Every structure is written in C-alpha cells, then in structure tokens.
Chains A and B, each alone.
Chain A
C-alpha cells in the first residue's frame, strides 16, 4: 500500500467506528430506532444482548469486507484506491443491513414486553404558552451568512475575466483531481452550494424532536435545537470561507493550507455537535407519556408521516436531521439538491 491510500483507509476506519458506535448516537430510550418509555431500557439485559450482537456483527463485516477485497485484489486487477472505494460502499450497505436486523430484533423484543402504560399512540400533550420567539432560533441569525455569500458572488462577477481557462471542479483528499473549462455555471458553483447550505439550515430550524408525546419526552429540546442551529450556521460560515477561497483559487493559486484548516474547523464543529448531543439530549431523562411511533420510522432510519407538516425532523438514531418522506416538499428539496450537485459536477 502506498501513502496515497492512507486517507481512504482512515475514511473506512472512521465509517466503521461510526457504525459500531451507532447505539450511543441516539437518545437512551431509543434503541435501533425503536422507542421505549423509560431510558432504563438501555441497561436491560436483552437490549444489552441485541447491542452486543450488533457491535460484533458490524465490526466483523467491516473486517471481512476489507480482508476479502484485499485477497480479491490479487486475482482481479484493481488499484488500492478503487479497492477501498468499493469497500466503503459495501461497508455502508452491509452495516446498514446489520442495523436493520437489529431494529427488527429490538421490535420483536418490545412486543414481548408487557404493554407499557407510558407509551401512547392515542394522544399527545403540547405546551401552549410559548411563542415562536422563545422556541425557534431567530431568523436574523441567517443574516450572518449573507456577507460571505455576497463576497463570493462579487469575486465571481468581477474576477471572471481574470480566471484561468481551466477550473478545478472536483477535489479528492489530496487536492483538485478534475478540471473544467471556464464557464459561468462552473464559476458560480460555490455560490450555488452556499445557497443550498443556507436552505438546509433554514429547514432544520423547525425540525421537531425524534421522540414526542409530551414536553418532557425530549426535555429542553427547544434550547438544544437553537444551539444546534447556531452550530449549523458556524458550519455554514466555515463552508462559505472554503467556497470563497475556492472562488479566489480560480483567479490566483491559494495555499492548500486554507482547505486543510477549513476541514479541521468542520471536524471541530461536528465534534462539538456530538458532545452537545451527548450532554443536552442523550443525558436527559425522558418522562411522561411517550408517543409510540415506531411505525413512522421505516427500518428505524426513514421517516414517513403524512400527518406531520414537518419537512425536516431530528434523526431517530444518530445526530443530525432527516427528511419526512411523506411530504412532497421534502422530495423536491432532496431531488433538487442531488440534481444540482450532479449537474454542477458534470459541467464542462
């Protein structure tokens, strides 16, 4: 193996770790996407057993995939980089499957329990005495994203004549690896990406908690969501700086240190998000009647609820947000983002 594949190997290991540690990335009363009323369920012996099986199975499959493909490499002529790329895709598919199996096991276990009086599917209690002002991140926070966006646009507009004829459009882990001819769509692509990022931040501003039923089902969630919103804006600002530098790089070569620093900053914010999730969501004790909505979470991963007006919701497992697949608007946003990304990565 040469040095070039080290980042790829690290990616593989990080994804493996994320899969193995998945059970720790949800609220304590949510196990593989299945909700329980009491967070002591985390300590129950059956749940521990399901969790242990999941960890062994996901770790073993990660190990088998990489070893299997490495052995296969001797027979089939593929490069190290191709091999690891295939491994990453296989890993995501296989370990997601392992997750779905654990979701089924947890669901089967829940059925064996006595019907839990604290779990309800019939009613929901909401707090009425609150205004959007206190529960949502004020929209003016979004203004923070405007100056860098305007700067990026200005550089694209006024700098266009000075840009070189070939423009980097794809970045591998080691730097630009694909170039395009100069055109307005290519030059404006960083600005498009900024707009999409801002739209996503706007959508998750109202994302409800993944556990509902009463205000104490996800205690202090409004505050947590606000803090996450601010961190998302921080992430947006970092991404804007990266895109701005990218735009400048079309005119004048810039030090790769900029992109490296940007990546480090993104990692720092993501790590902060994980730590805050642990403290402000996972460590909180759910109380009161909890809505039994496992049926709305297909395989514990995909949210489908036609009666919920939300477009984005907090993920049931894992930190972050996902779309409500029952809402056409969510599909429009998702397909729009994918389509624009594909179009942008294919302009020449």
Chain B
C-alpha cells in the first residue's frame, strides 16, 4: 500500500499518516497482521521528524487500528477498532453536523450528500473486493 504525504497541505503530517493507514485498512490494502515500517524507517522514507511518525502510530494504537510490539515491530490489528464503533460515531457526529449545516446553508440537497456517501462506500469497498 502506498501512502502519499503532501508537504503543502494544511493537514498536519501525522494526521496524513494516520488517515492514509485508516484508508488503507478500509480499502483492504492493509489487512490484519500486515507489517508496517518502524517509526525510524518511515520517518527516514518520508523525511520527517521521528516524533511526527511516533505521534501518528500512538494515535492509531489508541484508536485500535495497529498493534505495536516492542520486539517484533508494528502490525495492522483493526479488530479493536471495529469493537469501538460507538466512540467513533459520537466523534464523527459533530463532524457530520458541521458538514450538513454547511450543506444546508449552501442549498445542497440531501440526496447529493447521500449519493456522495454511497459513492465513497462503493469506492472503498470496491477496492476491497
């Protein structure tokens, strides 16, 4: 799985790493047990501070997407994330709230938003199958 980091983006690099890995899991490109490069290797490959990578990995670990084993390395372990859907729904609720509010103020029909969501689901699940 390839991760693209955009240095010109407003989004912090650690979030780009985090989101890239989550997208990789969603699309099935990363599966349970797949190895990830170590903090040092990924930092070197991208050319960023090791703290940045460490922050992303710690976040992913606390969210239950990866498992960091001291001696063996870092692995995808998304089982815990699936169990923790409630927390995610609560957090994304407020994010959705902002998106829907803005859609209403801009007169965007709810069908368009529905369609967008369906499309993204199809795209990621399509990659999976």
Contacts and interface: CB of A to CB of B under 8 A. Distances in A.
B3 interface: yes
Interface of B: 1-8, 20-21, 24, 29-30, 34-38, 40-50, 73-74
Contacts of A131: 35-38, 73-74
B6 A122 contact: yes
Contact of A212 (B7, B24, B35, B47): B47
B21 A128 contact: yes
20 contacts: A121-B7, A122-B6, A122-B8, A123-B8, A124-B7, A125-B2, A126-B37, A126-B42, A126-B46, A127-B2, A129-B36, A130-B36, A132-B73, A133-B35, A133-B73, A206-B41, A206-B44, A212-B45, A215-B2, A308-B47
Contacts of A206: 40-41, 44
B30 A124 contact: no
Given A123-B7, A124-B46, A131-B36, 9 more contacts: A123-B4, A123-B8, A126-B2, A126-B37, A128-B21, A132-B41, A133-B35, A133-B73, A309-B40
A61 interface: no
Given A122-B7, A127-B1, A128-B3, A208 B45 contact: yes
A310 B49 CA distance: 10
A249 interface: no
Contacts of A135: 37, 41
Contacts of A132: 37-38, 41, 73
Contacts of A174: none
Closest 3 pairs (CB-CB, A-B): A131-B35, A126-B45, A122-B8
Interface in A118-152: 121-136
Contact of A130 (B6, B29, B37, B49): B37
Contact of A123 (B5, B38, B43): B5
A320 B20 CA distance: 33
A206 B35 CA distance: 18
A136 B37 CA distance: 10
Contacts of B1: 127-129
B68 to A, nearest CB: 12
B2 A128 contact: yes
Contacts of B6: 122-123
A250 B103 CA distance: 84
